[in-house]
Amino acid sequence: MREKFNLHTHSVYCDGRDTPEEMVKAAIEKGFSAIGFSGHKNSFDPEVSMSHESARVYRRKIGELKEKYKKSIRVLLGVEQDIFEPEPATGYEYIIGSVHYIKHNGKYLSIDQSRENFDLILKEIGDTDTLIKNYFELVGDTLKYTPADIIGHFDIIAKFNEGGVYFDEEDPGYIKAAVSAMEKICHIPFEVNTGAISRGYKKAPYPSLTLLKKLRDMGGRVVYSSDCHAKEDLECAYDDAIEYIRAAGFERFLSLDEVKQWK
Ligand SMILES: [Zn+2]
Ligand SMILES: [Zn+2]
Protein backbone atom coordinates (compact mmCIF):
# COMPACT_ATOMS: atom_id res chain seq x y z
CA MET A 1 0.00 0.00 0.00
CA ARG A 2 1.32 3.42 -0.84
CA GLU A 3 2.25 5.88 1.83
CA LYS A 4 -0.36 8.63 2.15
CA PHE A 5 0.69 12.08 3.22
CA ASN A 6 0.12 15.70 2.34
CA LEU A 7 2.61 18.50 2.88
CA HIS A 8 0.49 21.28 1.41
CA THR A 9 -2.40 22.12 3.72
CA HIS A 10 -3.96 25.34 4.98
CA SER A 11 -5.82 25.88 8.23
CA VAL A 12 -7.61 28.70 10.05
CA TYR A 13 -4.22 30.33 10.64
CA CYS A 14 -4.33 31.52 7.04
CA ASP A 15 -7.17 31.04 4.55
CA GLY A 16 -8.16 27.47 5.41
CA ARG A 17 -11.50 26.50 6.96
CA ASP A 18 -10.54 24.01 9.68
CA THR A 19 -8.34 24.09 12.74
CA PRO A 20 -5.05 22.21 12.52
CA GLU A 21 -6.32 19.72 15.08
CA GLU A 22 -9.45 18.96 13.03
CA MET A 23 -7.19 18.34 10.06
CA VAL A 24 -4.82 16.11 12.00
CA LYS A 25 -7.77 14.01 13.17
CA ALA A 26 -9.12 13.75 9.61
CA ALA A 27 -5.67 12.72 8.34
CA ILE A 28 -5.48 9.97 10.97
CA GLU A 29 -8.94 8.73 9.93
CA LYS A 30 -7.79 8.60 6.32
CA GLY A 31 -4.77 6.52 7.27
CA PHE A 32 -2.16 9.15 6.51
CA SER A 33 1.37 8.56 7.76
CA ALA A 34 2.02 12.31 7.90
CA ILE A 35 0.38 15.70 7.57
CA GLY A 36 2.38 18.82 6.97
CA PHE A 37 0.99 22.29 7.52
CA SER A 38 2.03 24.98 5.09
CA GLY A 39 0.41 28.20 6.25
CA HIS A 40 0.57 31.05 3.76
CA LYS A 41 3.23 33.64 4.35
CA ASN A 42 2.54 36.66 2.17
CA SER A 43 1.92 39.07 4.99
CA PHE A 44 1.39 42.07 2.67
CA ASP A 45 -1.98 40.40 1.86
CA PRO A 46 -3.39 39.82 5.38
CA GLU A 47 -6.72 38.38 4.23
CA VAL A 48 -5.10 35.15 3.13
CA SER A 49 -1.82 35.12 5.03
CA MET A 50 -0.44 34.66 8.51
CA SER A 51 0.97 37.76 10.10
CA HIS A 52 4.28 37.81 11.97
CA GLU A 53 2.35 37.31 15.25
CA SER A 54 -0.08 34.65 14.07
CA ALA A 55 2.78 32.69 12.50
CA ARG A 56 4.32 32.51 15.95
CA VAL A 57 1.10 31.11 17.43
CA TYR A 58 0.82 28.73 14.44
CA ARG A 59 4.32 27.36 14.99
CA ARG A 60 3.57 26.76 18.66
CA LYS A 61 0.22 25.12 17.92
CA ILE A 62 1.62 22.75 15.30
CA GLY A 63 4.42 21.88 17.74
CA GLU A 64 1.80 20.94 20.35
CA LEU A 65 -0.09 18.76 17.87
CA LYS A 66 3.13 17.06 16.81
CA GLU A 67 3.64 15.97 20.39
CA LYS A 68 -0.01 15.16 21.16
CA TYR A 69 -0.52 12.88 18.13
CA LYS A 70 2.96 11.46 17.73
CA LYS A 71 1.79 7.90 18.33
CA SER A 72 -0.72 8.12 15.46
CA ILE A 73 0.78 10.40 12.81
CA ARG A 74 3.77 12.57 11.96
CA VAL A 75 2.81 16.23 12.10
CA LEU A 76 5.19 18.51 10.24
CA LEU A 77 5.56 22.25 10.50
CA GLY A 78 5.97 23.89 7.13
CA VAL A 79 5.22 27.18 5.45
CA GLU A 80 4.13 28.22 1.98
CA GLN A 81 6.46 31.13 1.48
CA ASP A 82 5.41 33.52 -1.23
CA ILE A 83 8.51 34.85 -2.96
CA PHE A 84 7.52 38.44 -2.08
CA GLU A 85 7.17 37.77 1.66
CA PRO A 86 9.64 40.12 3.34
CA GLU A 87 10.20 38.02 6.47
CA PRO A 88 12.55 35.07 5.84
CA ALA A 89 11.05 31.60 6.42
CA THR A 90 12.90 30.50 9.53
CA GLY A 91 11.71 28.11 12.23
CA TYR A 92 9.99 25.68 9.84
CA GLU A 93 10.75 22.07 8.97
CA TYR A 94 10.19 22.68 5.28
CA ILE A 95 9.38 25.46 2.85
CA ILE A 96 7.10 25.40 -0.18
CA GLY A 97 8.28 28.22 -2.42
CA SER A 98 5.38 29.72 -4.37
CA VAL A 99 4.55 32.59 -6.68
CA HIS A 100 1.03 34.04 -6.28
CA TYR A 101 1.56 37.67 -7.33
CA ILE A 102 2.92 39.81 -10.09
CA LYS A 103 4.45 43.07 -8.93
CA HIS A 104 3.27 45.90 -11.12
CA ASN A 105 3.62 49.64 -10.51
CA GLY A 106 4.52 48.95 -6.89
CA LYS A 107 1.41 46.82 -6.26
CA TYR A 108 1.12 43.10 -5.65
CA LEU A 109 -1.47 41.70 -8.04
CA SER A 110 -2.77 38.25 -7.07
CA ILE A 111 -3.01 35.92 -10.03
CA ASP A 112 -4.90 33.12 -8.30
CA GLN A 113 -7.44 34.93 -6.10
CA SER A 114 -10.37 35.11 -8.53
CA ARG A 115 -11.18 35.19 -12.21
CA GLU A 116 -12.32 38.82 -11.82
CA ASN A 117 -8.96 39.69 -10.37
CA PHE A 118 -7.16 37.84 -13.14
CA ASP A 119 -9.12 39.89 -15.69
CA LEU A 120 -8.09 43.10 -13.93
CA ILE A 121 -4.44 42.08 -13.96
CA LEU A 122 -4.58 41.32 -17.65
CA LYS A 123 -6.03 44.77 -18.20
CA GLU A 124 -3.25 46.40 -16.19
CA ILE A 125 -0.42 44.36 -17.72
CA GLY A 126 -1.83 44.71 -21.22
CA ASP A 127 -1.60 41.24 -22.73
CA THR A 128 -1.26 37.58 -21.80
CA ASP A 129 2.21 37.16 -23.34
CA THR A 130 3.69 39.79 -21.03
CA LEU A 131 1.87 38.34 -18.03
CA ILE A 132 3.11 34.82 -18.82
CA LYS A 133 6.67 36.08 -19.33
CA ASN A 134 6.62 38.04 -16.04
CA TYR A 135 5.13 35.13 -14.14
CA PHE A 136 7.57 32.46 -15.30
CA GLU A 137 10.55 34.79 -14.77
CA LEU A 138 9.50 35.09 -11.13
CA VAL A 139 9.02 31.32 -10.81
CA GLY A 140 12.45 30.70 -12.29
CA ASP A 141 13.91 33.14 -9.76
CA THR A 142 12.17 31.52 -6.76
CA LEU A 143 15.44 30.50 -5.12
CA LYS A 144 16.79 34.05 -5.37
CA TYR A 145 13.96 35.10 -3.06
CA THR A 146 13.67 32.17 -0.66
CA PRO A 147 15.10 28.75 0.01
CA ALA A 148 12.58 26.05 -0.92
CA ASP A 149 12.27 22.31 -0.36
CA ILE A 150 9.32 22.03 -2.74
CA ILE A 151 8.27 24.18 -5.71
CA GLY A 152 4.59 25.04 -5.28
CA HIS A 153 2.02 24.85 -8.13
CA PHE A 154 4.53 25.59 -10.92
CA ASP A 155 1.95 26.87 -13.46
CA ILE A 156 -0.75 28.42 -11.28
CA ILE A 157 -0.90 31.14 -13.94
CA ALA A 158 -3.19 28.65 -15.72
CA LYS A 159 -5.65 28.36 -12.82
CA PHE A 160 -8.51 30.04 -14.70
CA ASN A 161 -7.42 28.79 -18.11
CA GLU A 162 -9.38 25.53 -18.32
CA GLY A 163 -10.22 24.97 -21.99
CA GLY A 164 -7.59 27.51 -23.02
CA VAL A 165 -9.86 30.51 -22.45
CA TYR A 166 -6.99 32.97 -21.94
CA PHE A 167 -4.02 31.34 -23.69
CA ASP A 168 -2.83 28.15 -25.35
CA GLU A 169 -0.81 26.07 -22.89
CA GLU A 170 0.67 24.12 -25.80
CA ASP A 171 1.87 27.23 -27.59
CA PRO A 172 5.66 27.08 -28.17
CA GLY A 173 6.12 30.55 -26.64
CA TYR A 174 4.29 29.50 -23.48
CA ILE A 175 6.24 26.24 -23.21
CA LYS A 176 9.50 28.10 -23.78
CA ALA A 177 8.81 30.58 -20.94
CA ALA A 178 7.86 27.72 -18.61
CA VAL A 179 10.83 25.55 -19.55
CA SER A 180 13.30 28.43 -19.00
CA ALA A 181 11.94 28.76 -15.47
CA MET A 182 11.95 25.01 -14.92
CA GLU A 183 15.58 24.65 -15.91
CA LYS A 184 16.63 26.95 -13.06
CA ILE A 185 14.72 25.09 -10.33
CA CYS A 186 14.29 21.49 -11.52
CA HIS A 187 16.75 20.18 -8.93
CA ILE A 188 14.10 20.95 -6.29
CA PRO A 189 11.10 18.57 -6.03
CA PHE A 190 7.97 19.91 -7.75
CA GLU A 191 4.54 19.23 -6.38
CA VAL A 192 1.83 17.65 -8.47
CA ASN A 193 -0.89 19.75 -6.93
CA THR A 194 -4.60 18.89 -7.15
CA GLY A 195 -5.80 22.07 -5.40
CA ALA A 196 -7.57 23.57 -8.40
CA ILE A 197 -9.45 20.30 -8.98
CA SER A 198 -11.00 20.35 -5.51
CA ARG A 199 -12.16 23.92 -6.09
CA GLY A 200 -13.58 23.13 -9.52
CA TYR A 201 -11.24 25.32 -11.58
CA LYS A 202 -9.33 22.60 -13.36
CA LYS A 203 -9.66 18.98 -14.33
CA ALA A 204 -5.96 18.15 -14.08
CA PRO A 205 -3.31 18.97 -11.46
CA TYR A 206 -0.52 21.51 -11.76
CA PRO A 207 1.77 21.32 -13.68
CA SER A 208 0.19 20.58 -17.07
CA LEU A 209 1.00 17.16 -18.49
CA THR A 210 3.22 18.70 -21.17
CA LEU A 211 5.24 20.57 -18.54
CA LEU A 212 5.40 17.55 -16.27
CA LYS A 213 6.91 15.55 -19.13
CA LYS A 214 9.51 18.29 -19.59
CA LEU A 215 10.34 18.00 -15.91
CA ARG A 216 10.78 14.27 -16.25
CA ASP A 217 13.10 14.82 -19.22
CA MET A 218 15.21 17.12 -17.04
CA GLY A 219 15.48 14.46 -14.36
CA GLY A 220 13.12 16.29 -11.99
CA ARG A 221 11.30 14.71 -9.07
CA VAL A 222 7.72 15.03 -7.93
CA VAL A 223 5.69 14.85 -4.74
CA TYR A 224 1.90 14.95 -4.70
CA SER A 225 -0.17 17.32 -2.61
CA SER A 226 -3.74 18.60 -2.60
CA ASP A 227 -3.09 22.18 -1.43
CA CYS A 228 -6.15 21.64 0.72
CA HIS A 229 -8.08 24.37 2.48
CA ALA A 230 -10.62 22.01 4.13
CA LYS A 231 -10.19 18.61 5.73
CA GLU A 232 -12.41 16.82 3.19
CA ASP A 233 -9.88 17.67 0.51
CA LEU A 234 -6.86 16.15 2.23
CA GLU A 235 -6.51 13.48 -0.44
CA CYS A 236 -8.55 15.09 -3.21
CA ALA A 237 -7.93 13.40 -6.58
CA TYR A 238 -4.84 11.60 -5.25
CA ASP A 239 -5.52 8.48 -7.32
CA ASP A 240 -5.84 10.64 -10.41
CA ALA A 241 -2.63 12.49 -9.52
CA ILE A 242 -0.75 9.22 -9.28
CA GLU A 243 -2.06 8.11 -12.67
CA TYR A 244 -1.11 11.51 -14.02
CA ILE A 245 2.43 11.29 -12.66
CA ARG A 246 2.79 7.90 -14.35
CA ALA A 247 1.28 9.24 -17.59
CA ALA A 248 4.03 11.88 -17.62
CA GLY A 249 6.57 9.08 -17.58
CA PHE A 250 7.64 9.16 -13.96
CA GLU A 251 8.06 5.71 -12.56
CA ARG A 252 7.61 6.95 -9.05
CA PHE A 253 6.94 9.92 -6.84
CA LEU A 254 8.91 10.84 -3.76
CA SER A 255 8.25 9.23 -0.42
CA LEU A 256 8.05 11.55 2.56
CA ASP A 257 11.65 10.87 3.55
CA GLU A 258 12.88 11.46 0.04
CA VAL A 259 11.35 14.94 -0.01
CA LYS A 260 13.63 15.81 2.84
CA GLN A 261 15.64 14.17 5.55
CA TRP A 262 13.48 15.22 8.48
CA LYS A 263 15.33 15.89 11.68
ZN1 LIG B 1 -0.13 28.63 -3.18
ZN1 LIG C 1 -1.30 26.55 -0.82
CATH number at residue 177: 3.20.20.140
The closest of 77, 74, 108 to 90, measured between CA atoms, is 77
pTM, to two decimals: 0.97
Q: What is the pLDDT of residues 11-52, one digit of tens each?
A: 999 999 999 999 999 999 999 999 999 999 999 999 999 999
- Please, which pLDDT band fits residue 191 given cuts at 50, 70 and 90? very high
- 13 occurs within a structural domain: yes
Distance between start and end Cα atoms, the chain: 25
The closest of 253, 255, 235, 232 to 8, measured between CA atoms, is 235
Structural domains of the chain, count: 1
- 50 occurs within a structural domain: yes
Backbone angles phi, psi at 151, to 5 degrees: -90, 120
Tell me the CA–centroid distance for residue 1 and ligand 1, in Å. Answer: 29
- 263 occurs within a structural domain: no
Contact 56, 27 (CB under 8 A): no
Contact 84, 42 (CB under 8 A): yes
Tell me the CA–centroid distance for residue 100 and ligand 2, in Å. Answer: 10
Tell me the CA–centroid distance for residue 10 and ligand 2, in Å. Answer: 6
Contact 233, 226 (CB under 8 A): yes
User: Which ligand lies nearest to the CA atom of residue 100 in the structure?
Assistant: 1
- Rounded CA-CA distance 36/169 in Å is 31
Domain that includes residue 198, residue range:
5-258
Q: How far is CA 191 from the centre of its chain?
A: 7
User: Which ligand lies nearest to the CA atom of residue 156 in the structure?
Assistant: 1
Q: What is the pLDDT of residues 150-172, one digit of tens each?
A: 999 999 999 999 999 999 999 99
Give the pLDDT confidence score for residue 263 in this predicted structure. Answer: 72
Average pLDDT, the chain: 95
- 244 occurs within a structural domain: yes
